[in-house]
Amino acid sequence: MIINDLKKVLLDVNISLTELAQALSKRLNKPYSMQNLSNKLRHETITYKDMLIIADILGYEIKFIPKEKTNF
């Protein structure tokens, strides 16, 4: 689940979910509560745009990396 992956990153960068929600509010110029963010992550309804912003706030990039090809 995306929430588990994000929580690992939050631990690595020493930022709480509440602090992330506050940073999202500032970046998006709209209210973004910790509860709202948590619900979107738990229900996996967060948008790709929001995930790109989250990655940027945390100092990360989201990349599509090709898998190694396997023979079927």
Domain residue extents for the chain:
2-58
pLDDT at 1: 82
Closest to 33 (Cα-Cα) out of 11, 18, 52:
18
What's the pTM?
0.85
DSSP assignment string, 17-52: HHHHHHHHHHHHTS---HHHHHHHHHTT---HHHHH
Confidence of residue 72 (pLDDT cuts 50, 70, 90): low
What is the tens place of the pLDDT at every residue in 16-55?
Answer: 999 999 999 999 999 989 999 999 999 999 999 999 999 9
Q: Are 43 and 37 in contact (CB under 8 A)?
A: no
SS3 of residue 65 by DSSP: coil
